[in-house]
Amino acid sequence: MSETVSNRVWGQVIIDGLCELGADRFFLSPGARSAPLAAALSGRNVTTHYDERGVAFAALGWAMATGGPAVCVTTSGSAVANLLPACVEAYHSNLPLVLLTADRPPELRGTGANQTIQQPGLFGGFVRYAIDLPCAQDAQAMQKLGPLLTQALAAAEGLQPGPVHLNVPIREPLLVDAPTESVPLSVCSPASASQKCDWPLGFDISEFVSGRGIVVIGRLAVCDQSEVAAIFHLAKRLGWPLLADATSGARLMPGTVRHADWILSRTDVPAPDRVLHFGGPLVSKRVAKWLSSCRDNDCLQVRLYPDVLDPWQQRPTVMRAGIHPFCEAFDRIELPARESSWTDSLAAADEAVASVIESHLNGGELSEPAILRALADSAAQSSVPVFLGNSMPIRDFDSCVAAVSSAVVNIFANRGASGIDGNIATVAGLAMGCASPLLAVMGDLAALHDLNSLPLLHGLPVTLVIINNGGGGIFRFLPIDVEERLLETPHDWEFRGGAQQFGMEYHQVASLSELRGLLAERHVAPRILECRTERGANHALHLRIVEACRALSLSWGD
Give the list of residues 6+ apart from residue 181 with CB closer than 8 angstroms, or none.
Answer: none
Rounded Cα distance between 6 and 178, Å, is 10
Q: What are phi and psi of 300, to 5 degrees?
A: -110, 120
In sign, the C-alpha dihedral spanning 523, 69, 283, 467 is negative
532 pairs with which residues across the strands? 468
pLDDT attached to residue 4: 82
Give the list of residues 6+ apart from residue 94 with CB closer than 8 angstroms, or none.
Answer: 160, 161, 162, 221, 305, 307, 416
244 pairs with which residues across the strands? 217
In degrees, rounded to 5, the angle at the alpha carbon of residue 254 between the alpha carbons of residues 251 and 259 is 55
- Amino acid identity of residue 461, one-letter, is P
376 pairs with which residues across the strands? none
pLDDT attached to residue 192: 54
pLDDT attached to residue 1: 47
Could you give the domains of the chain?
7-169 (3.40.50.970), 205-341 (3.40.50.1220), 368-532 (3.40.50.970)
In degrees, rounded to 5, the angle at the alpha carbon of residue 533 between the alpha carbons of residues 531 and 539 is 140
Within 13 Å and on the Cβ side, how many CA atoms surround 262?
30
Is 471 within 8 Å of 516 (Cβ atoms)? no
DSSP letter string over 301-358? EE-S--S---TT----EEE---HHHHHHHHHTS-------HHHHHHHHHHHHHHHHHH
Rounded Cα distance between 396 and 22, Å, is 38
Rounded Cα distance between 267 and 286, Å, is 11
User: Long-range contacts for 34-37 (Cβ within 8 Å, ≥24 apart)?
Assistant: 34/73, 34/74, 34/75, 34/76, 34/101, 34/102, 34/170, 35/7, 35/174, 35/175, 36/7, 36/8, 36/10, 36/11, 36/12, 36/102, 36/170, 36/174, 36/175, 37/11, 37/73, 37/100, 37/102, 37/168
Is 217 within 8 Å of 228 (Cβ atoms)? yes
User: Long-range contacts for 327-330 (Cβ within 8 Å, ≥24 apart)?
Assistant: 327/230, 327/231, 327/233, 327/234, 328/197, 328/230, 329/197, 329/199, 330/234, 330/237
Rounded Cα distance between 451 and 495, Å, is 9
98 pairs with which residues across the strands? 71, 164
- The H or E element containing residue 416 is none
- Helix (H, G, I), strand (E, B), or coil: what is residue 47? strand
277 pairs with which residues across the strands? 216, 301
Distance of CA 172 to CAs 32, 35, 85, 108, 169, Å? 11, 11, 30, 12, 10
User: How many residues are there in the chain?
Assistant: 558
User: Long-range contacts for 145-148 (Cβ within 8 Å, ≥24 apart)?
Assistant: 145/13, 145/14, 145/17, 145/185, 146/17, 146/185, 146/186, 146/187, 147/186, 147/187
Per-residue pLDDT tens over the stretch 103-139: 999 999 999 999 999 999 999 999 999 999 999 987 8
Is 518 within 8 Å of 538 (Cβ atoms)? no
- The H or E element containing residue 163 is strand 163-169
Distance of CA 486 to CAs 186, 471, 508, Å? 56, 11, 28
In degrees, rounded to 5, the angle at the alpha carbon of residue 372 between the alpha carbons of residues 369 and 376 is 140
pLDDT attached to residue 478: 64
Rounded Cα distance between 174 and 136, Å, is 11
* Burial 446-478, CB ≥16 within 10 A → b, else e: bbbbbebbbbbbeebbbbbbbbbbbbbbbebee
In degrees, rounded to 5, the angle at the alpha carbon of residue 523 between the alpha carbons of residues 522 and 528 is 120
pLDDT attached to residue 482: 61
Rounded Cα distance between 96 and 71, Å, is 9
**Nearest of 349, 240, 373, 356 to residue 294 by alpha carbon:** 240
Give the relative orientation of helices 228-238 and 323-331 as an angle to the nearest 10 degrees. Answer: 30
End-to-end CA distance of the chain: 83
Rounded Cα distance between 34 and 459, Å, is 27
Is 542 within 8 Å of 477 (Cβ atoms)? yes
Rounded to two decimals, the pTM is 0.95
Rounded Cα distance between 491 and 471, Å, is 6
Q: Which residues of the chain have pLDDT under 70?
A: 1-2, 180-202, 474-487, 558
